Structure 1
Amino acid sequence: MAWSTRELAELAGTTVNAIRHYHRVGLLEEPERRSNGYKQYKTHHLARLIRIRRLRELGMPLDRVDSLGADGGDAHDALRMIDAELATSIERLQRARTELAFMLDDPTSLDVPLGFSTVADHLSDADRALITIYTRFFDQDALSDIRRMIEVEPSDIERGYNDLAADASESTKQELAERMAPLLARHRADYPWLNEKESGTRVERDLVDATLRDVMPELYNAAQRDALRRAILIADERPDHGATPASKPE
C-alpha cells in the first residue's frame, strides 16, 4: 500500500502543507518516489505522522517532538512541561467559568469583580472602577479583606464621602475626616498587611502606589481626596497608625 501526500494528509487528519513542513524540519522522513516523481508514503509514515499530530495537539513544540521518540530525561522533562502548562490552563479556565457563573446569576453586577457582588450596592461608580483596578494589583486574600472593609463601612460615612461636593467647606471636610479616621485606624489594626509595603500585592508596591496616585484624581474630586488626606493624618496620630489603607488610597 502506498499513499500520495494528499491521501496521507486526509488519513492523518492534517494538511499537505503541514506534511511538507514536517519534512523541512526533519520530523518526517521523505518517502520513495514513483517513476513519475510522485511520493509514495508507507504505513510507517502514517504512524509517524499520527504520533506527531498527537504530540502537537497536546501542546508539544515542534523542536521537542523528536525527544519523545527516545528514552531519557529529555522526553520526561518535555512531558512535565506540557503537564504544567495544561494545569495552568485548566486553572485559568476554571476561574473563568466561576466568574461567568457569577455574572449569569447576577447580571446587574457585571461591573464589579468576582466576590464583590455582596457589597455592590455600597459602591459608587468611582469605587467600582477602583476595585476593578485593585484586582490587577492585590492578591486574593487582600481583595477579600478589602471587601470586608467595605462591608463594615458605616452608611453615614459612605454617603458623606460619595456625596461630598468639590466645593465643600473646610469645616465639612474636616468633620468627615474626623469620622473616617477611627475606621482607617481600625482597618490597619485588623489587617496588618496594610502596614507592610511588600504584603498583599501581586506586583511591586511602588507600582501600585504610583498607579493609584494617577487614577485617584480622575475618580474622586479634590474635596474627597482632601478629606481622605486629613483622615489619614488624624489616623497617623493614633498609637496603631500605619500605612495608607487600601480601601480608598490617597
Structure 2
Amino acid sequence: MAWSTRQLAELAGTTVKAVRYYHGVGLLEMPERGANGYKHYEVAHLIRLLQIRRLSDLGVPLSDVAAMGHAQEEPEEAIRVLDAELGATIERLRRVRAELALILRHRAPAYVPSAYAPVSRDLSERQRSLLMVYSNVLGETSGEGLHELLGSAGDTGAEFEALPADADDAEVERMALRLLPVMREVRETRAWATGSGRGARRAEQAMGEVVEQLHNPAQLRVLERAVELVTAEGGEAPRGGRGRRGG
C-alpha cells in the first residue's frame, strides 16, 4: 500500500508543509510517483519521518538529524553534547525564573539587575539607569558598590536628583560639599575600580559618557566640583565619573 503526502503526514502526526520541508533539506527521500503523477510513500518513508520527528522533539537541530537519524547508528557523542546543552538551558531557565520571581515580588522594573530588585522602587529612573549600566559595563561588583553608595547618600542623593538645571554657583558649591563624603567613600572603597588595559579604559570612557548624558548641566557642575574637592584633599579622583572638562 502507498500513501499520499497528506496521508503520510497524518500518520506521522505532522503537516504536509513539514514533509515538504524535510524533502527540501534532504532529510526525507523523495518517493516514486505513480502513473497519475502523485507521490507514493512507503513504510520506509513513514519510519524515517517518525525518526525525524522524534529527534526534533528531543531538541536535535535539523542540521544534525541527518547524522544521527538512522536506527543502525549509535551517535552517543552527539547525544551527550545535546544533553549537556539541554542541561545548560535548564540551568539558565531556572536562573531566569528565580530572577523573575524577585522582580514580581518587589514589583521592580524588569530591566534592573535582579539583585537590586528589592531597592529599585526607591531609586529614581536616572539612578536605575546608572545602576544597570555600571553593573553591565564595569561588572557586578561595581554595581554593588554603586548601589551601596546610592543608599548611603540618603537625603543628599535625593537632593542631588532634584537639582534644577539652572542652579546658581552658590547652590552648586553647597551641593558639591554635601556630596563630598560620598566622593570620599568612592575614593576609599574604590567601588568602581575596573582594572587596567584598553578594555578598562574604554569602559571608563563609556561610563563618563553615560554620566554626562544622564545628568543636567548643574548636576554635572556639582560632580566636577566634588571631584575637584576630593582630589584637593590628596585622593584619587573617582573612576567612571566625570572629571574636569573644558568648555
* TM-score interval for Structure 1 and Structure 2 normalised by the shorter chain: 0.7 to 0.9
Q: Which residue does the alignment assign to 2:174?
A: 175
Q: Which residue does the alignment assign to 2:60?
A: 60
Give TM-score scaled by structure 1 length: 0.75
Moved more, 215-224 or 233-242: 233-242
Q: Which residue does the alignment assign to 1:132?
A: 132
Q: Which residue does the alignment assign to 1:6?
A: 6
Q: Deviations over 1:54-101 (max 9, x none)?
A: 2233443333222214758xx455445544543454344334323332
Give TM-score scaled by structure 2 length: 0.76
Q: Which residue does the alignment assign to 2:245?
A: none
Q: Which residue does the alignment assign to 1:216?
A: 211
**Structure 2: 5+ residue runs without aligned partners?**
243-247
Displacement, 1:241? 2.4
Q: Kindly report which structure 2 residues correspond to 1:230-249, keeping only aligned pairs within 5 A, or say none.
A: 230-238=225-233, 241=236, 243-244=238-239, 249=241
Asked if the contact 1:166–1:224 (Cα under 8 Å) also holds between the matched residues in 2, the reply is: yes
C-alpha distance in structure 2 between counterparts of 1:77 and 1:189, whole Å: 53
Asked if the contact 1:195–1:243 (Cα under 8 Å) also holds between the matched residues in 2, the reply is: no
Moved more, 216-225 or 86-95: 86-95
Identity %: 36
Q: Which residue does the alignment assign to 1:163?
A: 162
Equivalent residue of 2:220, what SS? helix
Q: Which residue does the alignment assign to 1:225?
A: 220
Displacement, 1:225? 0.9
Q: Deviations over 1:90-141 (max 9, x none)?
A: 344334323332333233x337712324333542232223333345434333
Q: Kindly report which structure 2 residues correspond to 1:1-250, keeping only aligned pairs within 5 A, or say none.
A: 1-68=1-68, 69=70, 75=75, 78-107=78-107, 109-110=108-109, 113=112, 114-120=114-120, 122-153=122-153, 155-191=154-190, 194=193, 196-197=195-196, 204-238=199-233, 241=236, 243-244=238-239, 249-250=241-242
Asked if the contact 1:184–1:235 (Cα under 8 Å) also holds between the matched residues in 2, the reply is: yes
Q: Deviations over 1:153-186 (max 9, x none)?
A: 2x24213312323233334323332342332232
Q: 1:96 to 1:195 in 2, by over 3 A?
A: closer
**Structure 1: 5+ residue runs without aligned partners?**
none
Equivalent residue of 2:236, what SS? coil
Q: Indicate the RMSD between aligned Cα atoms, in angstroms.
A: 3.3
Displacement, 1:14? 1.9
Code of the residue aligned with 1:144 in structure 2: it is: E
Asked if the contact 1:188–1:194 (Cα under 8 Å) also holds between the matched residues in 2, the reply is: no
Code of the residue aligned with 1:99 in structure 2: it is: E
Displacement, 1:9? 0.9
Displacement, 1:27? 1.8
Count how many residue pairs are aligned between Structure 1 and Structure 2: 239
Q: 1:66 to 1:111 in 2, by over 3 A?
A: closer
Code of the residue aligned with 1:40 in structure 2: it is: H
Equivalent residue of 1:142, what SS? helix
Code of the residue aligned with 1:21 in structure 2: it is: Y
Equivalent residue of 1:152, what SS? helix
Equivalent residue of 2:182, what SS? helix
C-alpha distance in structure 2 between counterparts of 1:159 and 1:193, whole Å: 21
Runs of 4+ in 1 over 6 A off after TM superposition: none
